[in-house]
Chains A and B, each alone.
Chain A
Amino acid sequence: MSEPLDALERRIAELRAEVRRAVKARDTSLARLLRADLRRAERAWDEAVVTEESAESGESGGRGRAEGPGSAEGPEGAGPLPREAGAALMPIREQVHQALLLLGVPTAAKLVVAVNEAFFAGGLRSPQLSSLRRDEERSFRSDPYARPYYLCAALTDRLSPARGLLAASTWPLEARVVGPLSPRVDFLTAATRIAEHLARLAEPPPGAVRLLSRMAQNIPGAVEGGFGPVDPATVVGAARAELEVHLPADTAQRAEVAARAGDQLTDVERLFGAAALSTLRGAC
């Protein structure tokens, strides 16, 4: 029963840390966004704690408001909670992971946000993802393998982290390295995955259909004409046809880079890229 509360508390603590970091980095716009999230989470915590207490009907006397994580700043006005908050309260990293699992390939933040918007809770914003990789790396360095998965970098053929791409640490190394053909292969794969997922849904969300239609414009033979909604099956067919052309070369290139990465890199580097360039990672 207290699981959502625990999750909320964790989320609130995370948000506080992020706000502090954003303020330190003088990123006022991000800090403002995060503060709004924080306030919303605190309000949700207030609501959840009240409903839990009424459910438990005062068995234990209940936890006082003063103990709550919201006590430091206090909620400003107890207005009704916007409903989207329920889903958006998942930590950002979990939302990103969800989107990555659907796509199954190293993905740029923009597409992660689009997929999250189309299929899941929505409300992710690209600036929130910018520091994600760095945070994950810090967490991994201080306490390796403590989390079930990490959001990590894709590796280029120089074994440096690829710019702007997010990947999941649970994927095999071959899936996390990128060669020159990989952006196209990954794009086609992502389109296929989205189309397959759409075909599985009884009521495909209109946002997702739009996303797929936009992607299909750039796949030869995937669009029958015009800008209308596309047929997922056609997209899958067209994308597979082009994939067949690129896949053998790409797989070979990726295997070669992955073998090199496996030989040369340490655990941290295998996830987050070669250390020689780590000082520059702030630029990503």
Chain B
Amino acid sequence: MSRLDDLRGPVPARAHDARAIAALAANPGCARRSLLDAAGVDKDAAARHVGFPAPFGQSQFAITRGNVFESLVKENGCAELLRLLRELMGLPIEQVGYRDVESVGSHLRASHTRALIDRAARESEDSAVFYDHPLLSLRIAGHTSYLEPDVVAFRLGGRFHIVEIKSFSVIDGQAEPEKVAAAARQAAVYVLALRALLEELGHDPELVSHDVVLVCPENFANRPVASLVDVRRQLAVLRRQLARMTRVDRLLEGLPEGLTFSLEPDADGVPTRSAGELAEALRRVPARYAPDCLAACDLCMFCRDEARGCGSTDLLGRQVRDQLGGVSGMDEALGLAEGVREPGEGQEEISRLLRLADRLHRECVA
């Protein structure tokens, strides 16, 4: 593990939140990201330091909107959620228990969550339905990450369900697939963490349902509506990805001695290393840029710039990149298409396709 600490430098490791863990599953092949995550490097700070700040981050309006909607669903002892679960899953009237984990104070939340979940799993008779503000932990590459699901619901068919409250609306029974997918990935992280907790406590991890309850505003009003989302696939991807992360040794082997991404700040809080040095260090680890990275990774702009600089076919998206298998860069691909370059061995097939595409393009444009 000390090698990872060297990589990070003398700054505290950055804990992963559910969003970050879910994003891991988005680009499993990227060594740069795996390494930075495993070492707990603050990717956002690194990206800003090398001059490529990520263009995203949630808007303050979106955060406020999300919080307001969440508090609406949870107010009065989860009254809205209770109605939704009664309608959706036939929760019996007498099941209304509500426990706020946070009432013990924030420093005890993790242990209190543990105690409450243990009790619920042990004696399901006397347990509450809602556990508000729970705090779960998940070991990722040697570091403990703390995760905060919106609500954990129990007593729906005798199993735990993760409830995820999101403020994007479901219009006429349809929501934006990307947003639902992101929510499902995030919820899968919680399911995984809760299963890990149950396993640790000696209970059956299958007590946690792979169906998560997604609560969103319905149509154009603020009235919440609930639906069940199956996250089995996301769970499988996530598990695989996390298992890979624990095998970072393989990635570490190929690294030059003394490589570090240290962001050690001086007295003014400005990193002591120059941006150039850090960028150089980052370039030593291969990245696997894809346009999807723009939605999930803090370093996306840096990697995109790098990919542009060397004319990599990664910029064109995964599908095109895979088709252009034996072609090393965009220049070569264009050369093949325009016929100014002779196809090398094994490139006949792709060059024929590229020529055809070029001809079609000319015909269309002409």
User: Are the CB atoms of B75 and A111 closer together than 8 Å?
Assistant: yes
In the complex, A184 has a CB within 8 A of chain B = yes
CA distance A245 to B99 in the complex (A): 19
User: Are the CB atoms of B103 and A186 closer together than 8 Å?
Assistant: no
Closest to B99 in A: A180
Say whether chain A's binding surface is mostly helix, strand, loop, or mixed. helix
User: Are the CB atoms of B94 and A163 closer together than 8 Å?
Assistant: no
In the complex, which range does the number of interface residues on chain B fall in? 20 to 34
In the complex, A62 has a CB within 8 A of chain B = no
On chain A, the residues within 8 Å of B121 by CB distance are: none
User: Are the CB atoms of A156 and B103 closer together than 8 Å?
Assistant: yes
Contacts of B92-119 to chain A: CB distance below 8 A: 93-94, 96-100, 102-107
In the complex, A1 has a CB within 8 A of chain B = no
User: Are the CB atoms of B104 and A160 closer together than 8 Å?
Assistant: yes
Say whether chain B's binding surface is mostly helix, strand, loop, or mixed. helix
User: Are the CB atoms of B99 and A187 closer together than 8 Å?
Assistant: no
CA distance A283 to B98 in the complex (A): 20
- From B76, B82, B100, A162 is in contact (CB under 8 Å) with B100
In the complex, which range does the number of interface residues on chain A fall in? 20 to 34
Nearest chain A CB to B202's CB is how many angstroms away?
24
In the complex, A218 has a CB within 8 A of chain B = yes
In the complex, A108 has a CB within 8 A of chain B = yes
Nearest chain A CB to B365's CB is how many angstroms away?
55
User: Are the CB atoms of A160 and B103 closer together than 8 Å?
Assistant: yes
Closest to B77 in A: A183
User: Are the CB atoms of A187 and B77 closer together than 8 Å?
Assistant: yes
In the complex, B83 has a CB within 8 A of chain A = yes
CA distance A217 to B73 in the complex (A): 12
In the complex, B86 has a CB within 8 A of chain A = yes
On chain A, the residues within 8 Å of B94 by CB distance are: 245-246
Nearest chain A CB to B199's CB is how many angstroms away?
25
On chain B, the residues within 8 Å of A9 by CB distance are: none
On chain A, the residues within 8 Å of B100 by CB distance are: 156, 162-163
In the complex, B71 has a CB within 8 A of chain A = yes
User: Are the CB atoms of A184 and B99 closer together than 8 Å?
Assistant: no
On chain A, the residues within 8 Å of B79 by CB distance are: 184, 187, 215, 218
On chain B, the residues within 8 Å of A245 by CB distance are: 93-94
Closest to A242 in B: B93
On chain A, the residues within 8 Å of B86 by CB distance are: 220
Nearest chain B CB to A167's CB is how many angstroms away?
14
User: Are the CB atoms of B96 and A158 closer together than 8 Å?
Assistant: no
CA distance A162 to B107 in the complex (A): 16
In the complex, B128 has a CB within 8 A of chain A = yes
In the complex, A210 has a CB within 8 A of chain B = no
User: Are the CB atoms of A183 and B98 closer together than 8 Å?
Assistant: yes
Residue interface mask A234-268, B partner, CB < 8 A = 1: 00000000100110000000000000000000000
A280 and B93 in contact (CB under 8 A), knowing A184-B98, A186-B77, A218-B83? no
User: Are the CB atoms of A218 and B80 closer together than 8 Å?
Assistant: yes
In the complex, A17 has a CB within 8 A of chain B = no
User: Are the CB atoms of A181 and B75 closer together than 8 Å?
Assistant: no
Residue interface mask B271-290, A partner, CB < 8 A = 1: 00000000000000000000
In the complex, A110 has a CB within 8 A of chain B = yes
In the complex, B299 has a CB within 8 A of chain A = no
Highest count of chain B CB atoms <10 Å: which of A161, A182, A183, A186: A183
Highest count of chain A CB atoms <10 Å: which of B77, B78, B94, B102: B77
Nearest chain A CB to B113's CB is how many angstroms away?
14
On chain A, the residues within 8 Å of B106 by CB distance are: 280, 283
User: Are the CB atoms of A280 and B75 closer together than 8 Å?
Assistant: no
User: Are the CB atoms of B104 and A183 closer together than 8 Å?
Assistant: no
On chain A, the residues within 8 Å of B107 by CB distance are: 280
User: Are the CB atoms of B97 and A181 closer together than 8 Å?
Assistant: yes
On chain B, the residues within 8 Å of A161 by CB distance are: 103
On chain B, the residues within 8 Å of A217 by CB distance are: 80, 83, 223
On chain A, the residues within 8 Å of B80 by CB distance are: 217-218
Nearest chain A CB to B67's CB is how many angstroms away?
13
A187 and B76 in contact (CB under 8 A), knowing A180-B97, A180-B98, A181-B96? yes
CA distance A277 to B128 in the complex (A): 23
CA distance A181 to B80 in the complex (A): 15
CA distance A280 to B102 in the complex (A): 11
On chain A, the residues within 8 Å of B71 by CB distance are: 110
CA distance A108 to B128 in the complex (A): 20
A283 and B105 in contact (CB under 8 A), knowing A242-B93, A245-B94? yes
CA distance A231 to B70 in the complex (A): 28
On chain B, the residues within 8 Å of A160 by CB distance are: 103-105
CA distance A156 to B77 in the complex (A): 14
On chain B, the residues within 8 Å of A156 by CB distance are: 100, 103
On chain B, the residues within 8 Å of A111 by CB distance are: 75-76
Highest count of chain B CB atoms <10 Å: which of A156, A163, A245: A163
Closest to A179 in B: B97
Nearest chain A CB to B133's CB is how many angstroms away?
8
Nearest chain B CB to A107's CB is how many angstroms away?
9
Highest count of chain A CB atoms <10 Å: which of B76, B98, B107, B128: B76
Nearest chain A CB to B265's CB is how many angstroms away?
24
- Given A218-B82, A283-B105, 13 extra CB contacts under 8 A: A158-B104, A160-B104, A160-B105, A162-B103, A163-B103, A183-B76, A183-B77, A183-B78, A184-B96, A242-B93, A245-B93, A245-B94, A280-B106
A-B contacts, 13 of them at CB < 8 A, read: A110-B71, A180-B98, A181-B98, A183-B96, A184-B96, A186-B76, A186-B77, A190-B76, A217-B83, A218-B82, A220-B86, A220-B93, A277-B104
User: What are the 6 closest A-B residue pairs judged by CB atoms, nearest first?
Assistant: A183-B77, A180-B97, A184-B96, A280-B105, A218-B79, A187-B76
